[in-house]
Amino acid sequence: MELSLIDWDGVLSSVVFLSGCPWRCPYCHNSDLWEVKRGIPEDKFFEYLKKRKNWIEGVVILGGEPLIGEDVIPFARKIKNWGLRVKIDTNGSKPEILKKLMAERLVDFVAMDVKTRLTGEKYDRAAGIKNVALEKVKKSMEILFAGGVSFELRTTMVPEIVDKEDLIYNLKFIPGKTSYVLQQFSPDNVPVPHFRSLSPYSEDYIKDICEELKDRGLAATVRGEQ
Ligand code: SF4
């Protein structure tokens, strides 16, 4: 685990990174967290949190993929028992864990990646592995759409991975008014050399997509680099 502070939609939060991810996205910025590894012991994290819990409101749980295992459930429960809110960022590959967290009201906000067009071929390329269980990603989306937790979907606009047509295609799976964030891609420090050499899309292109998604009913916004 690593610790830092950021704002979460105006919520003053601590951030914790859980290691381990089953995917190998070639443009990943956290490839040092792909393998499960020993980081800061959990009790040290809670010692840290104890000192700050009176002036923070929440904890953001990132990865890697934080839902990779069941351990996140007691971890989130402990944070909630301290009266703090929990935000989780996920790639959507673990709907069963997401469901359990929501059933126990252990998560207050979910940010879920939609990497590209929701087809097997495009998702395999985006995730850098063969046979991504796309039905699990779709299941996670359905769980979020069914209600019970605030959420946003988000796409990092990586050239050669996702484009405007892909996002228009996905609209058939996404209800109107869904919060949708488009993020600019940064090629710095990504693991695959080819992706380090890519030029990000222009701001105008991303804004144009955002306007198109808004016109088609989504609550779309643009955020800075990822
Ligand atoms: S899902 Fe996220 S953490 Fe995992 S490889 Fe992709 S970008 Fe990296």
Give me the CATH number covering residue 129: 3.20.20.70
The confidence score (pLDDT) of residue 5 equals 55
| 24 Cβ below 6 A of ligand 1 | yes
Q: Is the pLDDT of residue 3 over 80?
A: no
Which atom of ligand 1 is closest in space to residue 21's alpha carbon? 4
Tokens matching residue 213 = 């998604």
Instruction: Name, in order, each residue with C-beta under 8 angstroms of 104's C-beta and a sequence gap of 6 or more.
Output: 73, 77
Q: Ligand 1 atom 7: the closest Cα is on which residue?
A: 28
**Number of other residues whose CB lies within 10 A of the CB of residue 28:** 21
Q: Ligand 1 atom 6: the closest Cα is on which residue?
A: 25
- The chain-wide mean pLDDT, for the chain, equals 93
Mean pLDDT confidence for 180-186: 97
Q: What is the pLDDT of residues 157-169, one digit of tens each?
A: 999 999 999 999 9
Closest CA to 151 of 103, 88, 211, 226: 88
Q: Which of 25, 129, 186 for a ligand 1 pocket mutation test, highest count of atoms within 8 Å of Cβ? A: 25
The confidence score (pLDDT) of residue 2 equals 47
Q: What is the pLDDT of residues 55-101, one digit of tens each?
A: 899 999 998 999 999 999 999 999 999 999 999 999 999 999 999 99
Mean pLDDT confidence for 198-210: 97
CA–centroid distance, residue 175 to ligand 1 (Å): 25
Three-state SS across the chain?
A: CCEEEEEECCEEEEEEECCCCCCCCCCCCCHHHCCCCCCCCHHHHHHHHHHHCCCCCEEEEECCCCCCCCCHHHHHHHHHHCCCEEEEEECCCCHHHHHHHHHCCCCCEEEEECCCCCCHHHHHHHHCCCCCCHHHHHHHHHHHHCCCCEEEEEEEECCCCCCHHHHHHHHHHCCCCCEEEEEECCCCCCCCHHHHCCCCCCHHHHHHHHHHHHHCCCEEEEEEEC
| 92 Cβ below 6 A of ligand 1 | no
Which atom of ligand 1 is closest in space to residue 24's alpha carbon? 5
| 63 Cβ below 6 A of ligand 1 | yes
Q: Ligand 1 atom 8: the closest Cα is on which residue?
A: 28
Domain that holds residue 17: 3-225
CA–centroid distance, residue 59 to ligand 1 (Å): 20
How many domains are contained in the chain?
A: 1
Instruction: Name, in order, each residue with C-beta under 8 angstroms of 211's C-beta and a sequence gap of 6 or more.
Output: 220
